[in-house]
């Protein structure tokens, strides 16, 4: 059938296919993680431009500290929809908005929020709340269907430090959404309790 030379060439071709396939898979994962990081940096830049234009922070969803989920979350909808705030020169992002949640929609099901959280070790929103006397940061949170990108993003941002520390974190939300939440750290922000 095949000569020895043909079998050697076929074996080499097969080995190269496996190697290039693995490299391509790794490159695709890295590209997806990089695209997510770039997208989160754009949200952060939009917030900064909003602040420069209006000279105001984004408003909290609620000023009532007993409504924890809304007290520590900002109205990202104001980055896309003019809410009558003086100096607004947007839209700052080209996302759909969800007036019910006052959030942006990454796609038809995944929300983008800005949360006021600490930089202490945490991997869920409720464990990172920026209570009185703490240094606060704005954290961009995005609901995701799975955690399949989380470790790739963590490798690029935090050198694989895990889900509860560093500038990128993730957790499983459970509840009605039943999704993962990816958190991307931005700049410092005033503590709403001080």
Per-residue pLDDT tens digits for 59-82:
999 999 889 889 999 999 999 999
**Tokens for 137?**
């940061």
Angle made by CA atoms 92, 70, 55, in degrees to the nearest 5: 40
Q: Is the pLDDT of residue 150 over 70?
A: yes
- pLDDT exceeds cutoff 70 at 18: no
- Total-model pTM: 0.81
Q: Please compute the mean of the pLDDT values over residues 45-72 and round it to a whole number.
A: 92
Q: Which of 41, 54, 43, 116 is CA-nearest to residue 82?
A: 54
Q: What is the pLDDT of residue 5?
A: 65
Is pLDDT above 80 for 19?
no
Q: How far apart are the C-alpha atoms of 184 and 166, rounded to whole Å?
A: 9
> What is the reported pLDDT for 74?
93
Task: Name which of 13-22, 109-118, 171-180 the model is least confident about.
Answer: 13-22
- The pair phi, psi for residue 120, each rounded to 5°, is -65, 170
Q: Three-class SS of residue 103?
A: strand
Neighbouring C-alpha atoms within 13 Å toward the C-beta of 134: 14
Give, rounded to a whole angstrom, the gap between the first and last alpha carbons of the chain.
Answer: 82
Nearest C-alpha neighbor of 152 from the set 28, 12, 15: 28
pLDDT digits (tens, 9 = 90+) for 68-118: 889 999 999 999 999 899 999 999 998 888 888 888 888 777 889 999 999
| Contact (CB, 8 A) for 50 and 186 | no
Q: Which residue has the higher pLDDT, 104 or 16?
A: 104
Residue 51: closest CA among 92, 84, 105: 92
């Amino acid at each position: 059938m095949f000569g020895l030379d043909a079998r050697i060439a076929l074996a080499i071709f097969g080995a190269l296919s496996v190697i290039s396939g693995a490299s391509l898979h790794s490159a695709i994962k890295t590209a997806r993680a990089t695209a997510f990081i770039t997208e989160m940096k754009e949200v952060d830049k939009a917030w900064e431009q909003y602040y420069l234009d209006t000279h105001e922070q984004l408003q909290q969803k609620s000023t009532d500290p007993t409504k924890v989920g809304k007290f520590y979350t900002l109205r990202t909808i104001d980055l896309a929809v003019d809410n009558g705030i003086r100096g607004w020169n947007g839209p700052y992002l080209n996302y759909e908005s969800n007036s019910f949640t006052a959030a942006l929609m990454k796609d038809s099901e995944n929300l983008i929020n800005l949360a006021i959280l600490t930089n202490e070790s945490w991997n869920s929103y409720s464990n990172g709340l920026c209570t009185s006397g703490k240094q606060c940061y704005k954290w961009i949170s995005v609901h995701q269907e799975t955690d399949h990108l989380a470790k790739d993003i963590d490798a690029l941002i935090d050198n694989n430090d895990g889900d509860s520390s560093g500038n990128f974190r993730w957790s499983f939300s459970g509840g009605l959404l039943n999704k993962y939440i990816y958190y991307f750290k931005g700049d410092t922000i005033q503590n709403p309790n001080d």
